[in-house]
Amino acid sequence: MTRSELPQRVAVLSVHTSPTEQPGTGDAGGMNVYVAQTAIRMARRGVEVEIFTRATSSEQPPFVELAPGVQVRYVAAGPFEGLGKDDLPSQLCAFTAGVLRAEARHEPGYYDVVHSHYWLSGQVGWLARDRWGVPLVHSAHTLARVKNAALAAGDTPEPRVRVIGEDQVVSEADRLVANTEIEAKQLIDLYDADPQRTVTIPPGVDTDRFRPGDRRAARAQLDIADDAVVLAFVGRIQPLKAPDVLLRAAAELLHRDPSLRERLVVLVAGGPSGSGMAEPTALQELNTELGLDDVTRFLPPRGGDELVHVYRAADVVAVPSHNESFGLVALEAQACGTPVVATRVGGLPVAVAEGRSGLLVTGHDIGDWADALGELALDPDRRERMASAAAEHAHRFSWDRTTEALLGAYDEARREFHARVGGRA
């Protein structure tokens, strides 16, 4: 894109979670990574990015610089602590007021585009779009109707207010950004989205950080033996992500071959989130019931090089989610040269090249999961072949490519918006 086609300033809305938070706990996950990585790359192109998120502590400053050209602004909306995601609809009025006040301190036309992430932000973005006279670009990340159709056992359905809110945002947005063609089809079929306003832009992966490396050194960092068979789960501990499936499959592998206990290590890296907060120790209790206390290691959420060590140390990374709009963990693991076993849902068939970079399992039958994990983890030759293909597959995705496509979507949305309502292009 030429400089004249780029927006000068983009307002990014991320109400319920900040890109400065550590993914893997609370409400922080792949969306945080997406917002941070694309904002940083837009700034490198000369686009100023201001990210609005809800303040969750009285100690937070009004704003921080995430990177040169990227500012995160913390908006006071409701009590700083003690609010779950389901409580936030009642605070959208206060959050919107804070966003509009920030814009009011500037000359009219300060922002060129508003990009909202998740339906809560979309509600705010809809009002900001009308107030500022700029297009609204929206990324859903997950969809209530899709999640409710594939609930984990005992999980709580998404509330009706979210379904209604998503319908409204889909109807109002000037561009809807889907992670995969599957998600785009869900928006069109389940939410009556306009196909002409729906664009598919896959997320990326930071291949400078997530890349193949010394597996022995990674295992040494985690105090794991060189000859261990290592299965890993990375992500939030909640029914949606189904970490229990990995534990049950590990127990099945030990039932089939008790001698494997001498070498098996199961890593679970993440913290309670969402509906998992109701029973924060449930996974550890299940681990004890399954007789895996000597096998499983629970690790706190980690980022940067510490997370790279987990991916590199594993023979296989399991992504047994009941729903994923894409699955960044799968992509990060593969970028590190580690094959993935994932559920055949949502965007995971795009994130994982079945038979080349990993295996896909239909459903959550524990026998099927044990078969797939065993096929890779217990067959070194096949695992090594897939390890090379996994890194190659992950390199097809990059945040630079994602950002370039987003900037293109912004440009198209701006041209159409201003042609429709008049004014600047």
241 assigned to a ligand binding site = yes
pLDDT digits (tens, 9 = 90+) for 346-358: 999 999 999 999 9
CATH of 9-204+399-423, one of 3.20.20.10, 3.40.30.10, 3.40.50.2000, 3.30.70.1290: 3.40.50.2000
Hey, do 9-204+399-423 and 215-395 end up sharing a CATH topology, with the first three levels equal? yes
- Full-prediction pTM beyond 0.75? yes
29 assigned to a ligand binding site = yes
Residue 8 pLDDT: 95
Residue 22 pLDDT: 67
Residue 363 pLDDT: 96
Distances (CA, A) of 22 to 225, 250, 337, 413: 28, 28, 23, 32
142 assigned to a ligand binding site = yes
Please list the helix, strand and coil fractions of the chain in percent, rounded to the nearest 5, in that order. Answer: 45, 15, 35
85 assigned to a ligand binding site = yes
Pairing outcome for strands 175-178 and 136-139 = parallel
118 assigned to a ligand binding site = yes
236 assigned to a ligand binding site = yes
Residue 276 pLDDT: 46
Q: Give 89's DSSP letter.
A: G
Distance CA 29, CA 56 (A): 17
Low-confidence ranges of the chain (pLDDT < 50): 275-276, 278
Residue 345 pLDDT: 94
28 assigned to a ligand binding site = yes
Nearest 5°: CA angle at 422, between 417 and 423?
Answer: 95
Whether residue 145 contacts residue 185, with contact meaning beta carbons closer than 8 Å, is answered with no
31 assigned to a ligand binding site = yes
Q: Residues 6 or more apart from 397 whose CB is under 8 A from it?
A: 202, 203, 204, 205, 331
23 assigned to a ligand binding site = yes
314 assigned to a ligand binding site = yes
Q: Residues 6 or more apart from 61 whose CB is under 8 A from it?
A: 74
Domain segments of the chain: what residues? 9-204+399-423, 215-395
Q: Residues 6 or more apart from 201 whose CB is under 8 A from it?
A: 177, 178, 179, 402, 405, 406, 409
311 assigned to a ligand binding site = yes
312 assigned to a ligand binding site = yes
215-395, which class in CATH?
A: alpha beta
416 assigned to a ligand binding site = no
410 assigned to a ligand binding site = no
pLDDT digits (tens, 9 = 90+) for 194-240: 999 999 999 999 999 999 999 999 999 999 999 999 999 999 898 99
Helix (H) or strand (E) holding 234: strand 229-234
- Bridge partners, 73 (sequence order): 52, 63
Distance CA 213, CA 84 (A): 38
